[in-house]
């Protein structure tokens, strides 16, 4: 008897990426692949959901019902350590860069279908690096975002309702944690690491 193929449902927001994912996975004999574009109802029976970043994080955060939740595999161009950690903390079971090889995609889906987890090597390094660093506090992140918008200490103090001296303390904390030599350097490092968006917006996706 042949083993029953694992149901894989592709829910990626990008139609072109969806077509590519389907083309790769449909060749795998151990998988039964559907897409949300054509068969949205197939999501209910899926063992693995292959998604974009925002969809994957939202699905992973859903409370478990009576049955077992499918494993969520995010395939995305988002590769900042903050983004990877947020997704894994939300309960995403797998994380791949959109530039991954077809073999790696098939391997990751196979592992998730068996209830395991998968994080690509580059993402693993990114998360490992972030775990060795001291995290910014919520208030330090607030200050950092206002720094990115070009605000001076007085302006930050007024917007956050705190004293100028407190702002200076937070700026010093931010610079120490980011190993930054100047305020502008802190903003550049934070943007590279995905702690804030270019232009000073909060690092959040949908």
Check residue 206 and give its pLDDT.
37
Domain shared by 153 and 122, yes or no: no
Contact 65, 43 (CB under 8 A): no
Residues of the chain with pLDDT > 70, as a percent, come to: 88
Q: What is the mean pLDDT of residues 112-132?
A: 81
Q: Quick count: other Cβ atoms within 10 Å of Cβ 90?
A: 16
The answer as to whether 203 is a domain residue is no
Domain shared by 10 and 71, yes or no: yes
- Cα 206 from Cα 1, distance rounded (Å): 45
Q: Can you give the residue range of the structural domain that contains 88? A: 6-131
The answer as to whether 60 is a domain residue is yes
Of 82, 103, 131, at which residue does a domain stop?
131
pLDDT in tens, 138-178: 899 899 999 999 999 999 999 999 999 999 999 999 999 88
Here the tokens at position 186 are: 């802190």
**CA end-to-end distance (rounded Å), the chain:** 45
Q: Specify the CATH number for the domain of residue 30.
A: 3.40.50.2300
The answer as to whether 198 is a domain residue is no
The answer as to whether 69 is a domain residue is yes
Domain shared by 43 and 112, yes or no: yes
The answer as to whether 113 is a domain residue is yes
Question: Confidence class of residue 194 from pLDDT cuts 50, 70 and 90?
Answer: confident
Domain shared by 105 and 157, yes or no: no
pTM of the complete model: 0.67
């Amino acid at each position: 008897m042949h083993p029953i193929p694992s149901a894989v449902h592709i829910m990626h927001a990008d139609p072109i990426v969806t077509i590519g994912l389907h083309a790769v996975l449909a060749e795998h004999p151990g998988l039964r692949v559907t897409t949300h574009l054509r068969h949205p109802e197939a999501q209910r029976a899926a063992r693995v959901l292959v998604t974009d970043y925002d969809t994957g994080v939202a699905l992973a955060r859903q409370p478990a019902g009576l049955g077992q939740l499918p494993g969520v595999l995010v395939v995305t161009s988002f590769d900042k350590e903050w983004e990877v950690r947020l997704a894994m903390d939300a309960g995403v079971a797998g994380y791949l860069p959109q530039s991954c090889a077809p073999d790696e995609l098939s391997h990751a889906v196979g592992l998730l279908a068996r209830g395991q987890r998968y994080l690509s090597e580059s993402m693993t390094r990114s998360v490992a690096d972030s775990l060795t660093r001291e995290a910014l506090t919520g208030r330090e992140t607030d200050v950092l975002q206002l720094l990115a918008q070009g605000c001076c200490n007085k302006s930050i103090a007024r917007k956050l309702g705190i004293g100028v001296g407190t702002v200076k303390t937070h700026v010093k904390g931010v610079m120490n944690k980011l190993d930054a030599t100047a305020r502008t350097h802190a903003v550049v490092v934070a943007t590279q690491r995905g702690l804030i968006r270019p232009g000073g917006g909060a690092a959040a996706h949908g």
